């Protein structure tokens, strides 16, 4: 396949997983600069790939035409993606190997398999066995529009120091308690002149309100709640303007990583071995080591099965705030 090939990449969901495919797309384009790369994802996630200079055409499952490609890269590898790809032909078809049995061993028997510890990006790339891609040491990519950039500029003044806070997550066991977020924010705002932006979707609104209810009027002067008020790419533009981001294991963590923001990452039921740490960007990970129950799931749960939730509750706000303050004071 020395000529510039036609390539179809498929990843249908979700925010973080799609963002983690962008290094592979970039490296495919670097391997074949003349390649026509098309990408298929769900409609609500098209914005994450809009403006990406390495992608020639975007599709949804409903708009993907019948046709043939030199290379089909299925980075979803689900029943849905396999069914979808029956309508296209690929001279070469590569599929992401999920290693679910290794995840099962880690969750249920607490057995760690070395091959599971690499980043999901590297596992995506490993699925392309017959294609040699050069690692470029670069991270993920997002390309907010000029309109999104203007929106962010209207909320963040030039020279203003900003801490983004991604306070939500789909599953309960991935969410740091509101009282912990509130205390960390209080300590940061009291210690340094820093503006705090609460960021997330509509589903994260309740978490943000719970945090706000715990903050004093004085602290709230430095806090702005934008949960549920921004599009995904407006949020991306805001994250690009932040100096640092305090985040649960959520899609916004990967959005922020696309701009090499300094990340302060909270892992509860999440485990680094699953491969979803921020990719090729500076971060500090906060987690509770030595809990026999952790990880209790590879995706998260709606309640703590042990009822103590120590994996999150034992991450102390004072410790997190100390690290954030050290960063803003220039010592990190």
Express each pLDDT in 214-225 by its tens digit. Answer: 999 999 999 999
End-to-end CA, the chain: 46
Is 2's pLDDT higher than 70? no
230 found inside a domain: yes
CB 61 within 8 A of CB 84: yes
Percent of the chain exceeding pLDDT 90 equals 89
The residues, ordered by sequence, that sit 6+ positions from 5 with a Cβ below 8 Å of its Cβ are: 32, 35, 36, 69, 70, 71
| CB neighbour list of residue 293: distance below 8 Å, 6 or more residues apart | 305, 306, 311
Same domain, 180 and 317: yes
Residues 99 and 173 in one domain: no
Residue 139 lies in a domain: no
- pLDDT value, residue 140: 99
pLDDT score of 100:
77
Q: Which residues of 190-207 are buried (b: 16+ CB within 10 A; e: fewer)?
A: eeeebbbbbbbbeebbeb
> Is position 272 within any domain?
yes
**Same structural domain, 106 and 192:** no
Q: Which domain holds residue 66?
A: 6-126
- Are 208 and 258 contained in the same domain? yes
Same domain, 180 and 222: yes
Give the span between the Cα atoms of 20 and 75, in whole angstroms: 10
In a domain, 39, yes or no: yes
Domain count, the chain: 2
Looking at the structure, tell me whether residues 182 and 90 fall in a common domain. no
The reply to whether 186 and 287 lie within a common domain is yes
Alpha-carbon distance of 32 to 60, in angstroms, equals 24
As a whole number of angstroms, the distance between CA 24 and CA 309 comes to: 36
Residue 284: CB atoms within 10 Å: 16
Question: In this structure, is residue 19 part of a structural domain?
Answer: yes
Q: How confident is the model at residue 176 (pLDDT cuts 50, 70, 90)?
A: very high
Q: What is the CATH number of the domain that holds 77?
A: 3.40.50.2000
* Average pLDDT in the chain: 95
pLDDT score of 98: 86
Nearest Cα residue to 64 out of 53, 76, 4: 76
Residue 138 lies in a domain: no
Q: Describe the chain by its helix, strand, coil percentages, rounded to 5.
A: 40, 15, 45
Tell me which of 116 and 189 has the higher pLDDT: 189
Same domain? For 112 and 196 the reply is: no
> Are residue 117 and residue 167 in the same domain, yes or no?
no
Residues 6+ apart with CB under 8 A from 311: 173, 267, 268, 269, 287, 288, 291, 293, 294, 296, 304
Closest to 40 in 3D by CA, of 25, 53, 59: 59
pLDDT (mean) for 145-160: 97
Domain boundary among 126, 154, 184: 126
Last residue of a domain, one of 63, 94, 126: 126
283 is a domain residue? yes
DSSP string, 248-259: ESSHHHHHHHTT
Kindly report, residue by residue over 100-136, the tens digit of the pLDDT: 778 888 898 888 876 556 899 999 999 998 888 999 9
The answer to whether the CB of 42 falls within 8 A of the CB of 61 is yes
- Strands in 36-40's sheet, in edge-to-edge order, are 57-59, 36-40, 6-10, 67-74, 88-95
Across 187-207, average pLDDT: 98
311 confidence band (pLDDT: 50, 70, 90) = very high
Q: Give the pLDDT confidence score for residue 331 in this predicted structure.
A: 66
Res 144: pLDDT: 99
Domain-located, residue 133: no
Looking at the fold, whether 267 and 300 belong to one and the same domain comes out as: yes
Residues 14 and 88 grouped into a single domain = yes
Are 111 and 159 contained in the same domain? no
pLDDT tens string 214-253: 999 999 999 999 999 999 999 999 999 999 999 999 999 9
E runs forming strands in the chain: 6-10, 36-40, 57-59, 67-74, 88-95, 162-166, 195-199, 223-225, 244-248, 262-266, 283-286
């Amino acid at each position: 396949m020395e000529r510039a090939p036609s390539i179809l990449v498929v990843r249908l969901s979700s925010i973080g997983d799609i963002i983690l495919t962008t290094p592979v797309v970039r490296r495919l384009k670097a391997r074949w600069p003349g390649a026509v790369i098309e990408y298929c994802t769900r409609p609500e996630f098209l914005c994450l790939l809009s403006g990406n200079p390495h992608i020639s055409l975007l599709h949804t499952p409903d708009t993907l035409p019948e046709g043939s490609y030199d290379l089909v890269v299925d980075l979803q590898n689900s029943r849905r993606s396999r069914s979808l790809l029956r309508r296209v032909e690929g001279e070469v078809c590569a599929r992401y190997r999920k290693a679910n049995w290794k995840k099962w061993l880690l969750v249920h028997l607490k057995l760690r398999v070395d091959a599971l510890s690499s980043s999901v990006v590297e596992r995506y790339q490993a699925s392309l066995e017959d294609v040699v891609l050069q690692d470029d040491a670069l991270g993920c990519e997002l390309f907010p529009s000029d309109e999104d950039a203007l929106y962010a500029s209207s909320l963040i003044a030039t020279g203003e120091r900003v801490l983004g806070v991604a306070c939500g997550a789909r599953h309960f066991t991935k969410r740091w308690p509101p009282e912990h977020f509130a205390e960390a924010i209080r300590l940061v705002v009291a210690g340094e002149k820093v503006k705090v932006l609460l960021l997330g979707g509509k589903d994260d609104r309740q978490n943000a309100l719970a945090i706000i209810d715990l903050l004093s009027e004085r602290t709230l002067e430095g806090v702005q709640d934008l949960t549920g008020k921004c599009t995904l790419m407006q949020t991306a533009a805001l994250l690009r303007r932040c100096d640092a981001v305090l985040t649960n294991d959520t899609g916004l963590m990967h959005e922020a990583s696309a701009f090499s923001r300094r990340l302060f990452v909270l892992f509860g039921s999440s485990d680094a071995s699953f491969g979803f740490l921020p990719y090729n960007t500076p971060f500090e990970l906060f987690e509770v080591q030595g809990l026999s129950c952790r990880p209790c799931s590879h995706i998260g749960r709606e309640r703590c099965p042990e009822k103590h939730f120590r994996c999150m509750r034992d991450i102390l706000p004072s410790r997190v705030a100390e690290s954030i303050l050290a960063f803003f004071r220039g010592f990190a």
